[in-house]
Amino acid sequence: MALDQALDRPVTYYNRKRHLLMICCIEHLTYPIFVIIILVINLLRYLYLTDYLGTGHWSEMFLLQPIAVSLPLLPLVFPTCWIFLNCFGMARFKALFKLYLSAKKLQFVDPFEEADINGNSHPDVVYNWLELKEYFFNILFGNEHMMSRSASILHVLGSVTALCCVDKKGILSWPNPTAEKVFFLRNANILSPSSSTGSVDKTGTDKNHQDSEEIKVNSNRTSYVQHDMSHSTAEVLDLTHDHALPFRLQFDDHSWRQHLNSLKPLGLAILLNTCNMDTQEHYMQFCCHVACETFYNENLVPVTNRRRCLCELAKQIGFQDQAQKIFQLEQQLCTFRHVQPEMVRRDIKFARSLSIATKLKFPFPHMVAVVVKERSGGGLQLLTQGTADIILDSCIEYWDGHDLCPLSASDRKKVQDFYQRTSLTSYCTAFAYRPLTRAINDKMSEIYLELPADSKHLYTPHRSPTPLPWDFRNVLDPRVRGILGQFHSTDSLLCNENKDDDVSDIESCFEVQCNQVFIGMVTMQYQAQTDMVQLIEQLDRACIRFVHFSKENELRSRVFSEKMGLESGWNCHISLLSEGASTNLNNSRTMSMSAPSAINTDFSTVKFDDETTEWNTGTSQAKSAMSHREQDTVRSEDSVLVQSVDLGSGQEAWRSLSCLTDSTEQSAPVNFDLSNRAKLPRGIEKIRPHIELIDNVPLLVSLFTDCNTTVTREMLHIMQDYGEVVCVLGSSANAENMPIFMQADAGVAVEPLYPQVCQKVPVLVPTTENQGISPVDLSRALNSVACSLSVKREDPVAIFHLIMEARHYMKNVWNCIQFWLCCLVTLSFMQILSAVLLLPPLFSVDQVLWLCCLIIPILSTSMIATPIDSTIMQRATGKNQCVVNGEVTLFVLWCYGTKFLPTVITVILSQCISFLTFCPLYVPQNSKCLYIYPDPRDQIWGGWGNRPIVVLVVQHFALTLIVLHFVTISISFVHREYSIWKKNPMNNCTWFLGVFIVLCVQAAFSGVTFRKFWREEGKKIENFPIFVPLFFLLSVPLTFAINELIKWQEIKVNVRYQKRARLEFGTKLGMNSPF
């Protein structure tokens, strides 16, 4: 693919402009016109004016003079200089890139600090010239590992208008999600006392809080108060991620330790189940088994959902790693169930607020339990984690931090509402616990329990009619008292259990997982990396749109986009999921990388009637299927399933948010407007018609959701067709990114930060030299072969500064090209104007070559070294569209024509007046000057053919004058955005050196002719008026003043253009705007 499509990339912005100027404007238009004009004029002179004014020899009239006119318009030196300039720019770019790689890791930046790009934030870079030389020749001869021609990263970053990222994990975000909220139930009438145990410090929290204080809602903790007889409160503690470290977090509420007794069971469950490395292999096999079942049901969509590390939360609670050694892992039990659409309509209430949802994806109900044995007392404990729906069905009580309390219907609603709301946009895991009085046979770990879709009635026969008020504090070993507080081990019984026999059958295995105690829930979310947040802010000020192509659904994508600092308003995102994809199994599987609990929204609006369904205990038959592990050849990473249910069937109308329970009636499930008031297109096939017929808002949004490789590539193609210059950031670990990299103007492969099973386990095992290249490195090299740049996420590579360097260098290159071409066109135009005025040749062929091959290239290329402008990243670049209309033509003629017009007038006048001044000195006797010719009877230039030294002197004087004017005009091209009194051109030392060299070699070149003329004709020109050459030399400051005046006007025009471009960049109000 990389070879087949290597030449299919769009032409870069600067190559397109170069082609427009050099090929279309000069070679196809100006060159033939000028050649035709000079041939017609010389033909008329030769046929009709030979007897009156004299003309040159036919070879000079029809060969040498047309050649002199056409030589400046031919690509003599320009192609070579263009290649050299690009290679030198790539060498500078690579040197800067290597410099960043060798630098130390960038210091941590506060994400809440505004990115400052107003000052000259570009570091002072001192290039190693030997290194630059090596890079230059390697790139020139194709020995460097960079695509400098087919996908020039220098050209693309220098004109980029959209920086797109197609992967989130490990690039935009930290590779592992971290805990954001901890949910648990507590008694509203009792406040947990502060802990004074060993590893948890005692806080100064007041123990005498009043009940009125408990219902307050502050910025760090939200309490939902129940107004029934249960007197329970749903407590939610917020956690903040340390942006400098991948796992570090802390509680927002300084008084969180008053809930320590409620949090300790949660911390222990994390250590023994979630972050227990001994459970990983069994958990992976369970996920693979359930993933295989999705191949037989098109409504199931498997998604990557590894078990995530929560060690840091346990550490914050006060646990140490040694606490895990007190217990011994015995068995692992896995349970799952399918979900039917009617169950969704009955239980998932928050989907009712999403009026446009027709297909709902939510976590596949599953439960993974571990049986651990205390090494000292021998007591057995069952610690369970999984989705809240199936966990809640297994629980009859909850731990309030002091005692066990029965789970009322109101309590269940609190848990369900929190879970259903938070699982829409984050990863939510529930935890439960119970002591065991019976051992479990080892073969129970080799089977998976599959429950029916409606399995609530299965738990009823096994529930204790009156749960015993056991003391939950007495289930742990006294040796962990320093960590856990006043806990000790004892047997705890349920009145309906038989403790004589081991659990060795399915019914008993299910029974031991009933009657659990609900501990709490933890929600996790991927956190944006701070350098990417600041990069997006900096790019926005530079009018570079950051576009995130998210593989996830609309809700989850918008949550993360807000963390990134992207706009997520009513018209700031578009779903690329086609309408027909919702019922297509293959397309659904393509979307399977989205996170659990996703909403795939389609166009139609579905409503369901009010529901009053009770738990159904009679219509469903009890089902418990036992499935043995299958030794499949397919090995995938740990995953659970997402149930995908079509909610569009039936005519039920779902109620609005007014139906929410009392615990969440003031909290919307999502803080987003999903009504599509902007009427943006949905589906990739509707993007082009929308842009052509309605507005261009799809080109202005920063978030595309429900993306896969095909739709992402097509959207990039659409953006490029409408003039966007697209650079794509993507993971080098994702093989599906290859087509996307090939479609983009340039690709940057980023080796992501890889996720960890647990922070205590290293990501990769390094390979030795004898083992050769590792599989990861080989995969990265192959996947990034189509990219112009390959970086590692942990390396201190500043994309913003690379863009700044590329933009600055290419601006200088284009400034150089503009000056170069203007000088060449001026040179040809002067000669045509001289012929129109019936003057002898203005320049000889060798003088034209002197200007075209030496003087003009030196002056032009010296502008490359102009120092970087501190405001370069506050300007908008143009789109990759070169449209020439009347307005653009008039502006070019006014801006550039008026700058060089004084030069044209001065040089032509100097030639004419010089000949007029010399004519009386060389007129023969009995004759007089006619026009500027001393002897009109002489057919060779009216008498000047006999005085070739005079013609040569006049040509050299005009040559010297034009060089002086070109040098003067170049002053205003050094700093195009600043007047001479604001920025001194002398700070470009290379330009100053180039000017010095040009003046010296020109003085030497013309000085030889002047000296020869003075020796031969010194006596004859004693009466020559010396003020004539001085008068024309005084035109140099006049040309400088005119150029500065025109540049001042040009700056004002550019300021207006930048304001308009920035306004267009930031405006997203289409014709369907509701405002």
Per-residue pLDDT reduced to its tens digit, 370-386: 999 988 888 899 999 99
The answer on pLDDT for 669 being more than 60 is no
On the 0-12 / 13-18 / 19+ scale of CB atoms within 10 A, 457 is: middle
pLDDT at residue 821 in the model: 95
Judged by average pLDDT, the poorest of 431-445, 633-647, 939-953 is: 633-647
Helix (H, G, I), strand (E, B) or coil at 792: strand
Confidence of residue 295 (pLDDT cuts 50, 70, 90): low
The answer on pLDDT for 939 being more than 70 is no
Q: What is the dihedral of CA 632, 637, 638, 640, to 10 degrees?
A: -80
Q: Of residues 497 and 328, which shows the higher confidence score? A: 328
pLDDT at residue 686 in the model: 92
* pLDDT, tens digit, 9 for 90 and up, residues 711-720: 999 999 999 9
pLDDT at residue 623 in the model: 37
Tokens of 135: 């890079």
Confidence of residue 648 (pLDDT cuts 50, 70, 90): very low
Judged by average pLDDT, the poorest of 432-436, 462-466, 584-588 is: 584-588
Q: How far apart are CA 511 and CA 394, in angstroms?
A: 10
Please state the rounded mean pLDDT for residues 16-23.
92
Q: Of residues 972 and 929, which shows the higher confidence score? A: 972
pLDDT at residue 1074 in the model: 52
The percent of residues above 90 in pLDDT, for the chain, comes to 38
pLDDT at residue 57 in the model: 83
Q: Kindly report the average pLDDT of the chain as a whole number.
A: 78
Q: Of residues 117 and 201, which shows the higher confidence score? A: 117
Judged by average pLDDT, the poorest of 211-225, 237-251, 295-309 is: 211-225
pLDDT at residue 464 in the model: 65
Q: How far apart are CA 747 and CA 788, in angstroms?
A: 6
pLDDT at residue 470 in the model: 44
Judged by average pLDDT, the poorest of 213-222, 356-365, 505-514 is: 213-222
The answer on pLDDT for 1058 being more than 60 is yes
Q: Distance between alpha carbon 231 and the CA centroid of its chain, in Å?
A: 49
* Residues 1055-1072: b if buried by 16+ CB within 10 A, e if exposed: eeebeebeeebeebebeb
Judged by average pLDDT, the poorest of 116-125, 200-209, 390-399 is: 200-209
* pLDDT, tens digit, 9 for 90 and up, residues 719-765: 999 999 999 999 999 999 999 999 999 999 999 999 888 888 888 77
Please state the rounded mean pLDDT for residues 168-196.
79
Q: Of residues 1024 and 426, which shows the higher confidence score? A: 426
Q: How far apart are CA 102 and CA 364, in angstroms?
A: 46
Q: Which residues pair with 547 in a beta bridge?
A: 164
Please state the rounded mean pLDDT for residues 290-316.
67
pLDDT at residue 86 in the model: 95
DSSP assignment of 850-862, as one string? HIIIIIHHHHHHG
Judged by average pLDDT, the poorest of 48-57, 255-264, 518-527 is: 48-57
The percent of residues above 70 in pLDDT, for the chain, comes to 75
Confidence of residue 1044 (pLDDT cuts 50, 70, 90): very high
Helices (H), 153-279: 153-159, 211-214, 260-269
pLDDT at residue 566 in the model: 86
The answer on pLDDT for 298 being more than 70 is no
pLDDT at residue 128 in the model: 85
Q: Of residues 487 and 773, which shows the higher confidence score? A: 773
Q: How far apart are CA 204 and CA 931, in angstroms?
A: 107
Confidence of residue 342 (pLDDT cuts 50, 70, 90): low
Cα angle vertex 1007, ends 1003, 1013, to 5°?
Answer: 155
Q: How far apart are CA 547 and CA 703, in angstroms?
A: 6
On the 0-12 / 13-18 / 19+ scale of CB atoms within 10 A, 735 is: exposed
Judged by average pLDDT, the poorest of 79-83, 85-89, 861-865, 878-882 is: 878-882
**What single-letter DSSP state applies at residue 903?**
H
Q: Of residues 833 and 939, which shows the higher confidence score? A: 833
Tell me the pairing of strands 746-751 and 726-731.
parallel
Judged by average pLDDT, the poorest of 256-270, 727-741, 852-866, 919-933 is: 919-933
The answer on pLDDT for 1035 being more than 50 is yes
pLDDT at residue 670 in the model: 54
Please state the rounded mean pLDDT for residues 59-77.
92
pLDDT at residue 722 in the model: 92
pLDDT at residue 543 in the model: 92
Confidence of residue 111 (pLDDT cuts 50, 70, 90): very low
The answer on pLDDT for 186 being more than 80 is yes
* pLDDT, tens digit, 9 for 90 and up, residues 1000-1034: 999 999 999 888 888 777 666 666 777 777 888 88
The answer on pLDDT for 601 being more than 90 is no
Q: 898-922 and 799-836 are packed helices; what angle lies between their axes, rounded to 10 degrees?
A: 30
Q: Which residues pair with 748 in a beta bridge?
A: 729, 789
Q: How far apart are CA 697 and CA 571, in angstroms?
A: 8
pLDDT at residue 638 in the model: 36
Q: In terms of Cα–Cα distance, which of 902, 866, 1070 is closest to 976?
A: 866
End-to-end CA distance of the chain: 46
Q: How many other β-carbons are positioned within 10 Å of the β-carbon of residue 1038? A: 12
pLDDT at residue 139 in the model: 93
pTM recorded for the entire structure:
0.81
pLDDT at residue 187 in the model: 84
Please state the rounded mean pLDDT for residues 513-531.
92
* pLDDT, tens digit, 9 for 90 and up, residues 980-990: 999 999 999 99
